[in-house]
Amino acid sequence: MISIKGLRKVYTSDNKKLTAVDDLTLDIENGEIFGVIGYSGAGKSTFVRLLNRLEEPTEGNVIIDKQEITSLTKNELRSARKEIGMIFQHFNLLWSRTVEDNISFPLEIAGVSKEKRVKIVQELIDLVGLSGREKAYPSQLSGGQKQRVGIARALANNPKVLLCDEATSALDPETTNAILDLLVDINQKLGLTVILITHEMNVIRKICNRVAVMEKGKIVEKGDVLDVFSHPKQPVTKKFVAQLMDPGSEDETEDIENLLHNVNHDGVLLRLRFIGESTNQTLISQLAKKFPIDINILQGKITQTQTGGFGTLITQFIGNEKDISNAIEFIHHETSVEVEVIRNAD
């Protein structure tokens, strides 16, 4: 397990202090894919660089696999870093070296024999899907291929932890999905812990088990991805979730106001929230058969996470007040769908 306690990083410039990471405490389980999300300036990249001491912490400690990273000497840290791989947004490849030489580089530094290096490099090339590109130079590779080289290089010393700092931010959506699939495959095959830093909620949704939301250097919300997505508490988390559910908008309140303005006032406006197995329920069909009401679906989206689906439907129930009330009671007591009345009939 990775245990982080009271982690703080303060920069001083022109006699002014800037706190990039502020009293951060977090536990990450072995073998999980843990996401850290925040907008630019939230402190997430500083945080991940503190884990392997590419940045020196001002306060606090980091323990990885029972070893306190923050108390190691420089020589001890060099040895410990072999077990902490890292991939970067802009790849950080050696442009004068081929694919196989880039991957081999950390093994050369570690003093691994040439015969063993060749074997490990080929295994990694096969793992990340670069067979046939061994002799290519970075300038001859696509963005996705460059990141695959970066991933293979990060895995060269057989690390226990893989740190990913905005690893897909420079890639197009299709390539991003391919790299995320690769990270899941590596996580499952090698059993290593992945810590993924991003500002993209879709990245968290697709591969992470748990997530921490950062703002102004602090973790403001954390938990299982499905729980955080389906019941966001903090304004910043609600913005991320709104962006995921409707990429063209981050303001749910404004969306609801627009809906209220554009629909007639005859019925009751409801928000139906589907979580986990409830996303497979044929709720609208059941309601239409059981109750003499009309149901108008105004807006909605269902999306999937690693641990299940979640989503919302904004609906309008039109009909007799008692029938509508009975339908709402049915949802409350007979289904696992959450229901909220946004506006009653005028």
One domain for residues 160 and 109? yes
Structural domain including 323 reads: 252-343
CATH number of the domain that residue 294 is part of: 3.30.70.260
Q: Could you tell me the pLDDT band of residue 177, with boundaries at 50, 70 and 90? A: very high
Q: Are residues 49 and 193 in the same domain?
A: yes
Q: Are residues 154 and 178 in the same domain?
A: yes
Band (249; pLDDT cuts 50, 70, 90): very low
Model confidence pLDDT, tens digit, residues 10-63: 999 888 899 999 999 999 999 999 999 999 999 999 999 999 999 999 999 999
Q: Which residues contact 194 (CB under 8 A, 6 or more apart)?
A: 32, 33, 34, 161, 162, 164, 183, 186, 187
- At 91, the pLDDT band (50, 70, 90 cuts) reads confident
Contact predicate 307/209, CB 8 Å: yes
The verdict on 268 and 143 lying in the same domain is no
Last residue of a domain, one of 190, 224, 244: 244
Residue-level pLDDT at 308: 78
Residue 250 pLDDT more than 50? no
- Same domain assignment for residues 237 and 309: no
Same domain, 162 and 145: yes
CATH number at residue 81: 3.40.50.300
Q: Is there a single domain that holds both residue 178 and residue 262?
A: no
105 vs 97: CA distance, rounded Å: 9
Q: Which of 213, 244, 275 is the last residue of a domain?
A: 244
Query: Is 199 found in the same domain as 339?
Result: no
Same structural domain, 70 and 186: yes
Say if residue 144 is in the same domain as residue 238: yes
Tally of domains within the chain: 2
Between CA 47 and CA 144 the distance in angstroms is 25
Question: Distance of CA 112 to CAs 108, 118, 145, 210, Å?
Answer: 6, 10, 25, 36
* Predicted confidence band of residue 276 (pLDDT cuts 50, 70, 90): confident
Write out pLDDT tens, residues 122-148: 999 999 999 999 999 999 999 999 999
- pLDDT at position 280, please? 63
Residue 256 reports pLDDT greater than 90:
no
Q: Name which residue leads in pLDDT, 154 or 280.
A: 154
Strand 59-64: give its sheet, edge to edge: 16-28, 2-13, 59-64, 67-68
Given 244, 274, 307, the domain boundary residue is: 244
